Amino acid sequence: MSRNGTATAAPPVIAAPDFKKLDNDINRPLESFPTLRWNIAITITGSLATLFLFCFGYTIFTGIGSWGNNNPVGWGWAITNFVFWIGIGHAGTLISAILYLLRQRWRTAIARCAEAMTVFAVICALQFPLIHTGRPWLAWYWLLPLPNANEIWVNFRSPLLWDVFAVSTYGLVSVLFWYTGLLPDLALARDRAKNTVRKLVYGLLSLGWTGSNRAWRHYEKAYLLFAGLSTPLVLSVHSVVSFDFAVSVIPGWHTTIFPPYFVAGAIFSGFAMVATVIIILRWMFNLQHIITKDHLDVMNRITVATSLMVGYAYLIELFMAWYSGVAYERYAFMNRVMGPYAWAYWTMVSCNVFIPQLLWIRKIRRTILLMYPVVILVNVGMWFERFVIIATSLSRDFLPSSWDYFKPTWVDVGLLAGSMGLFLTLVLIFCRFLPTIAVAETKAHLPGSQPAGGHHE
Amino acid sequence: MTKEVSKNHRSETVGRRMALNGLPSREDTAGLPPQADLHPLSDTVDRRTIMKLMGASAVLAAGLPGCRRKPYRKIVSMADTPEYQHPGKPLYYASTWTEGRTPYGMMIKTLEGRPVKIEGLPGHPLNRGTSNAQIQGSILSLYDPDRLKAPMRGEKTITWEEADQEIMAALKSAGKTVFITRSSLGPAERALIKEFLSASPGARHLVHESFHDGPRRTAWQAIYGEAGTVQTNFAEAKVILSIDSDFLGTDGDVLKTVASFSKSRVVKTGRIDAITEPVSSRLYVAEGAMTVTGSNADHRIVIRPSFALRLVRALGSAIRGETGPLKQAAGKHGWDDKVLLALVQDLKANPGASLVVAGPHLPVAVHAAVCLLNQALGADGKTLSWNPDPHALPVDPPGTIHTALKDGVDLLLLFGVNPVYDWPAGGFDTLIQKAGLSVGHGLYHDETLNACTLALPSTHNLESWNDAHPLPGVHGICQPVIAPLFDARQEAESLLNWLRALKPRTGRPEEPDDWHDRLKKHWQTELLSNADDLEKAWDDALREGIFGQPVTVPLPEPDRKKANALSSMNPPECGDRELVILPHHAVLDGRFANNGWLLEFPDPISKLVWDNAAVIAPETAETLNLSEGDVVEVCTGMHSLVLPVLVQPGTAGGVIVTTLGHGRTRAGRVGNQKGVNCSPILGSGPFAVSPWVMGNAQLKALGKKQTLVRVQKYFSMEDRPIVLHGTAGEFKRNPHFVDLRRHLSEDSQLHDAYDYSKGPKWAMAIDLNTCTGCGVCTIACQAENNIPVVGKKECGMGREMHWIRLDRYHGGDPANPLVYNQPMLCQHCDNAPCESVCPVNATAHSHEGLNEQVYNRCVGTRYCANNCPYKVRRFNFFHYTKENLVDPVQELAYNPQVTVRSRGVMEKCTFCLQRINEQKFKYKNKGEPIPDGAIRPACVQACPAGAMVFGNLNDPNSRITKMKNSPLAYFVLEELNVRPNVSYLAKVRNPHPSLDHLEGKGGHG
């Protein structure tokens, strides 16, 4: 915001000159009947979410055999999806925590949405480690360090256990952070509510928010604390997820670059997903004046920056494989680039490194129809990145006698498509019942909300 | 020891047990047949609670609805605990395997009256405690719910009395009776048949098999002047030449051959200066299809089987000093003349210590020429001896059988044969229809029994009394270890019954009552007559399973003139392509086709499961523009086969190889419609060299694809230190050459190493020099550890469950590769990568160095399998065991000492933990240390080559310690610092010194 002298000058709001209009614009989807656009969208995503539930149940009832997993490739699409969804969540936390701490005010317009997506992405991600186990009916609590009569403890040496802690902490903190930020806006929804049910529900959810000075003071403190708490999580969660691979002995997995590489990739894919969804939402709920092209421009800049990071990681992986002199490592990467999964590798490189370079061009960054294919392809590319890491490494490891090729089944496809459906359905429901944009926070940036002429920080 | 246990006591208590369960009982209605006798290996056991026994037998009884047998006797309540039998304590019985052509000795483990595992009989001269896949699989066939369960007339179940009446009536009036059996019949059975034939003047006994060694025996009979077979002694041979004979795979008395051959392949690693020949034998193999034998060759020459005669003749003249014809033939057919000249030099340099064998499918002339060659090499009397009374009868050619049946017979008895399935040209069912009364007696309601008027169920090998004559001087006994599960009767018992129609009972007391009595009498009069106490002698024979000592019968004087005449019969010219049909490595001629273990037993060479295929060379595939799975029509003139193509390096160009035994239509639920029945084409066309080699075969692509499933898909070692190898020459130059090729890791440890010195430290060693790659270990492990069969589709998805697999790698010339076999099982790493990654601690290391998998705790994250560098962990993607279960009788085949795994858990080799504990407890109770070799996991016990050794590394004198300290020992992937406990002895080939370079680089760089 140029007025405040910040460098990344995306003004938070363009066409909402007064508080009343802002309240109305943001609360309209909550208070009016769903639009046709919303109905069509939820029909599609709801069907996919139903497909997810069906495939979920089918897997539980028939077994992992209904997937394409085989003997060398013990993990297939499920873990690919898990890592993919966990990665998606990173943009939300980054926007709400790190950018908050860095006082990047343009975040205000998209923070709520991105945080919500974090929560939903974690929800989607959590499904996969659970159903990918052979006996989910035991796994869900045997993986937790609960005291038990058998005196069997979990194995603290296992990265999967670290995963349990990392992801559950991340999920929990994300939900709390999101909810804390929602409180003033829930109270607003309560105050605007005209029927009793709405009043009651929003009233309960807003935890008796009065808007008093004291409440605001506590709120600001809590929000800052959560931002501080979430910041290391942005880095730690995906680092720990990457340990699932890095700690193993499998060539292609056993690399020290994984933690930073995974975090960069997660932010990259997270921003792409936020852009993918938000472009639809601003159109669906007529929020173009709040979530502006300036916002998208800034997000695209982050996307291209992180794209370069993952591109660097791809190159350094190849270099290290060659430089290490380890035959297995060299083979693993030659196999990625030229083996039976070369198509997946080159899809990944194209979508993640080559195509995002288009975002250097300002016109593409600011034209919805031009940038949209790019961000969609980044999502595709980042899914393939995880698939390439998991499937190619496992399918050809040490003993050629065991090498085999992984082919997904319809259940695998159903779970992936279904998880997209689940995610988008949750997003749509969120837009319908909760304010998509942080009203209170946005108001703080409106002209006249701060003491005139001064730097309020 | 149970020698003191009186058999009467046992039979009574068994009877009591059944009686207590409220079932009609007779002494032989329970799990144990009455007169069966314990093998001395059975343990003495102490008294335990009776309740478990009753519970177990209730389960047993519930599973055996068909085991009623009349008449009932001795209903006595089980007031005392049987002294010899305790729940969980196995009893062992000696018996003989009669399902195949070679009567190996079996030792059958029974628990609570039911057989659960079969091992080779220790001390049996043929197999010395080892076994083959079919013996291992026999236990599954016993409990096969698809067995014929009662006599049937058409679709209607009848009683044995009705069947007997009908047959006896027919016998009395029959003018012409034809009786067709399999070739392997015991002496007592043969005597019974003889009596039957003499009592029935119009009767004729014919023998049918679709694969046999007829041409070889014809040649031998002509040359040696009497019926019999030539016995080979590989242990004495320094130079061995196999002419298309898979003597390590399917040809002959394989278990005996493998043991003696393997002895000559043990690399001598004693004092270096004293070793002149590190490997005592050199194997040359000239073959058309890559076989197990070929994969063990020091030099392999690719020849077309129809050219075998030319090769043998040329070798004959080369031995006499004329190498011209050999060089000429080599040039003409593209044989490697350097190898052939080296072979000639070797043969000439080792008179009396060389041996030539030829495959049974080759024509008479080849065998005659081989006899001459062997004689010229001085093999007669040295590496060859004679068996005047082979176990298998000579087989009657299909033409003879056809002639006997084509005008119709009054009574046709088909015993244990399946000609409707395997008749050349097919159409045997019309011959059956011409018979007045046709009777099929067999284990299954198969193609033949279905075509017969009466289908009679036979008892299984493990439910039958029989005897055998495995080797000169040795007799074997086959005793039942369980009462017939279904309303089945032994074939000999039936014949004995029907004989009474022709020879009514005399009523004399010495007349045998039933087949058991007759067999006993036969033994007591023919074999045991010198004994003081006939009863005791019989009991002893039963207990030991064998009687007598092997004697070496010298080879009769050969008739050279006849041999020359026979060997000069030229086979027909075979044109560009020939079709070769061999028995399948697992289901043989199809008799084991309903056995899931055997159908899923990967081909030792191609690793193909569940199918047979037209195997062709890569060059043939390229010429004809075919790729794997392309469906082709193979035509030899009259008949054709439609088969998928399998491309196998090492196959001779111009040769199409396929196998018998598949394509069954009435094998049962498991075996039906698996693969293609190749028998109809046998011997067809004008260019048939022998029934199994047919020239001028045409190959035509049909433009269709069929999925063939190989459980191993990549055969290159990728220059990795997986199978380390070298040559005998290298070894002589530097006995520690293996160390130069090992990739050792830094000995770094994150945690302190565990101190294993307090107890035993288990480990295994596998000698890649003696291992032939046959894969019996896979099936033995499957039988011991309740490993489920998963089916073709699941195998195709890469989900086979075998805990031990045979990896095969190619090296050298891609067209004629050198093969390296490697059994791969859990390496029980001390730094196991699987253990650290399991989040729930379901896999952990024991204090004795075992990597243990706790099924109950496993939630199935599969991380352990991902992180296993050897990929030996197996995941239960479905509840395979439950899905395979169609009848409760199948449950009896499970080993109760091993958990049956459910869906969603990981499993893998345990080093047969249950066997380790059994011996540990036994010796702990005795207060003695466990002797070396007392613990043998199933794979180790079955291995015909003795290539695997298991033991305690903390015992400095154990075999395992010695093997681990061998200069050839290495670990696979040891650079990963996972510290495996399975050491391998590097493969040392023994090429001719002038051809040492053919081995290539020798290991990887």
Interface touch B878/A62, C-beta < 8 Å: yes
User: Is B135 within 8 Å of B120 (Cβ atoms)?
Assistant: yes
| Torsion over CA: B860, B863, B867, B871 (sign) | positive
Cα B309 versus chain centre, distance: 29
Identify the pLDDT of residue B21: 37
Residue B71, exposed/middle/buried by CB under 10 A (0-12, 13-18, 19+)? exposed
What mean pLDDT comes out for the span B864-882?
93
The greatest distance separating any two alpha carbons of chain A, rounded to the nearest whole angstrom, comes to 74
Residue B224 near chain A (CB below 8 Å): no
β-strand B454-457 against B437-442: which pairing, if any?
parallel
Beta-carbon contacts of A116 under 8 Å, excluding residues fewer than 6 positions away, are A92, A178, A426, A427, A430, A434, A436
pLDDT band with cut points at 50, 70 and 90 for residue B11: very low
Peptide bond into B71 cis (omega under 30): yes
Q: Is the pLDDT of residue B818 over 60?
A: yes
Mutation target to probe the A interface, by most A beta carbons within 10 A, among B824, B835, B840, B884 is: B840
Cα B901 versus chain centre, distance: 27
Q: Which of B786, B775, B870 is nearest to B828 (CA)?
A: B870
Beta-carbon contacts of B659 under 8 Å, excluding residues fewer than 6 positions away, are B581, B582, B583, B584, B585, B612, B678
Half-sphere exposure of B631 toward its Cβ, with a 13 Å CA cutoff?
12
Report how far residue B724's alpha carbon sits from residue B165's, in angstroms, rounded to the nearest whole number.
67
For chain B, what is the mean pLDDT?
A: 85
Mutation target to probe the B interface, by most B beta carbons within 10 A, among A389, A399, A407, A410 is: A399
Residues of chain A by 3-state class (helix, strand, coil), percent to 5: 75, 0, 25
Among the ranges given (A58-72, A340-354, B44-58, B535-549), the one the predictor scored with the smallest mean pLDDT: B44-58
Beta-carbon contacts of A115 under 8 Å, excluding residues fewer than 6 positions away, are A92, A93, A95, A96, A174, A177, A178, A181
Report how far residue A247's alpha carbon sits from residue A268's, in angstroms, rounded to the nearest whole number.
23
β-strand B851-853 against B843-845: which pairing, if any?
antiparallel
Q: Is the pLDDT of residue B531 over 90?
A: no
The encoded tokens of residue B120 equal 């080779």
Q: Which of B80, B71, B61 is nearest to B10 (CA)?
A: B80
Residue B9: its H or E element: helix B7-20
Chain B CB contacts of A158 under 8 Å are 836-839, 863
What mean pLDDT comes out for the span B534-553?
88
User: Is A198 within 8 Å of A185 (Cβ atoms)?
Assistant: no
**Please, which residues bridge with residue A102 across strands?**
none
Alpha helices in B185-304 (DSSP H): 187-199, 214-224, 254-263, 292-295
Report how far residue B564's alpha carbon sits from residue B573's, in angstroms, rounded to the nearest whole number.
20
Identify the pLDDT of residue B65: 41
In angstroms, the separation between the Cα of residue A132 and the nearest Cα of chain B is 7
Interface touch B720/A158, C-beta < 8 Å: no
Interface touch B714/A400, C-beta < 8 Å: yes
The encoded tokens of residue A168 equal 């559950």
Q: Which of A73, A52, A59 is nearest to A387 (CA)?
A: A73
In angstroms, the separation between the Cα of residue A382 and the nearest Cα of chain B is 22
CA B231-B237-B238 angle, 5° bins? 165
Residue B859 near chain A (CB below 8 Å): yes
Mutation target to probe the B interface, by most B beta carbons within 10 A, among A62, A67, A401 is: A401
Report how far residue A392's alpha carbon sits from residue B157's, in angstroms, rounded to the nearest whole number.
57
Q: Identify the residue with better confidence: B873 or B814.
A: B873
User: Is B439 within 8 Å of B411 (Cβ atoms)?
Assistant: yes
Q: Quick one: three-class SS letters along B531-571?
A: CCCHHHHHHHHHHHCEECCCCCECCCCCCHHHHHHHHCCCC
Query: What 3-state DSSP class applies to B596?
Result: helix
Percent over 90 (pLDDT), chain B: 41
Identify the pLDDT of residue B37: 60
What mean pLDDT comes out for the span B961-971?
91
Interface touch B866/A403, C-beta < 8 Å: no
The tens digit of pLDDT for each residue in B237-257 reads: 899 999 999 999 988 889 999
The tens digit of pLDDT for each residue in B621-663 reads: 999 899 999 999 998 877 889 999 999 999 998 899 999 999 9
The tens digit of pLDDT for each residue in B458-484 reads: 999 999 999 999 888 899 999 988 888
Interface touch B720/A155, C-beta < 8 Å: no
Where do we find the tokens 């040039």? Answer: B331
Alpha helices in B608-704 (DSSP H): 618-623
| Torsion over CA: B444, B449, B450, B455 (sign) | negative
Report how far residue A270's alpha carbon sits from residue B187's, in angstroms, rounded to the nearest whole number.
81
Report how far residue B485's alpha carbon sits from residue B28's, in angstroms, rounded to the nearest whole number.
12
CA separation (Å) from B544 to B7, B39, B323, B535, B938?
Answer: 15, 6, 53, 14, 21
User: Is A333 within 8 Å of A317 (Cβ atoms)?
Assistant: yes
Beta-carbon contacts of A218 under 8 Å, excluding residues fewer than 6 positions away, are none
Residue B716 near chain A (CB below 8 Å): yes
Interface touch B875/A155, C-beta < 8 Å: no
User: Is A93 within 8 Å of A117 (Cβ atoms)?
Assistant: no
Q: For chain A, what is the total number of helices (H) and then of strands (E)?
A: 18, 0
Identify the pLDDT of residue B89: 82
Residue B226 near chain A (CB below 8 Å): no
The encoded tokens of residue A52 equal 């997810």
- Cα Rg for chain A, rounded, in angstroms? 23
Report how far residue B855's alpha carbon sits from residue B852's, in angstroms, rounded to the nearest whole number.
9
Residue B869 near chain A (CB below 8 Å): yes
Q: Which of A404, A443, A427 is nearest to A273 (CA)?
A: A427
Report how far residue B804's alpha carbon sits from residue B787's, in angstroms, rounded to the nearest whole number.
11
The encoded tokens of residue B442 equal 């067999």
Q: Which of B227, B252, B237 is nearest to B126 (CA)?
A: B252
Cα B561 versus chain centre, distance: 38
User: Is B186 within 8 Å of B390 (Cβ atoms)?
Assistant: no
Predicted complex ipTM exceeds 0.85: yes
β-strand B969-970 against B578-582: which pairing, if any?
unpaired
- At residue B669, what is the residue type? R
Alpha helices in B66-179 (DSSP H): 133-142, 160-173
Identify the pLDDT of residue A152: 83
Report how far residue B387's alpha carbon sits from residue B220's, in angstroms, rounded to the nearest whole number.
11
Interface touch B871/A64, C-beta < 8 Å: no
Give the one of A139, A159, A327 whose C-beta lies nearest to B859's C-beta: A139
Give the one of B794, B863, B871 whose C-beta lies nearest to A399's C-beta: B871
Identify the pLDDT of residue A452: 55
Identify the pLDDT of residue B3: 39
Residue B803 near chain A (CB below 8 Å): no
Identify the pLDDT of residue B825: 94
Chain B CB contacts of A398 under 8 Å are 720, 869-871, 973, 976
Chain A CB contacts of B869 under 8 Å are 249-250, 397-399
Using the 8-state DSSP alphabet, how is residue A398 labeled?
S
Q: For chain B, what is the total number of helices (H) and then of strands (E)?
A: 32, 41
Phi, psi (rounded to 5 degrees) for B504 = -55, 155
Identify the pLDDT of residue B827: 94
**Please, which residues bridge with residue B385 across strands?**
B231
Beta strands in A282-354 (DSSP E): none
pLDDT band with cut points at 50, 70 and 90 for residue B53: very low
User: Is B394 within 8 Å of B211 (Cβ atoms)?
Assistant: no
Residue of A nearest to B795 (CA): A70
| Torsion over CA: B555, B559, B560, B562 (sign) | negative
Mean pLDDT by 10 residues, chain A (457 residues): 42 59 78 82 93 93 92 91 90 81 79 88 91 88 84 88 90 90 89 88 90 90 89 87 91 90 89 89 82 86 92 92 90 91 93 92 89 92 93 92 92 94 92 84 72 51
| Torsion over CA: B302, B308, B311, B312 (sign) | positive
Report how far residue B872's alpha carbon sits from residue B678's, in angstroms, rounded to the nearest whole number.
35
Write the DSSP assignment of B44-73 as a string of letters. Answer: P-----HHHHHHHHHHHHHH-TT---SSP-
Plot region of B506 (φ>0 → left; ψ -120 to 50 → alpha; else → beta): alpha
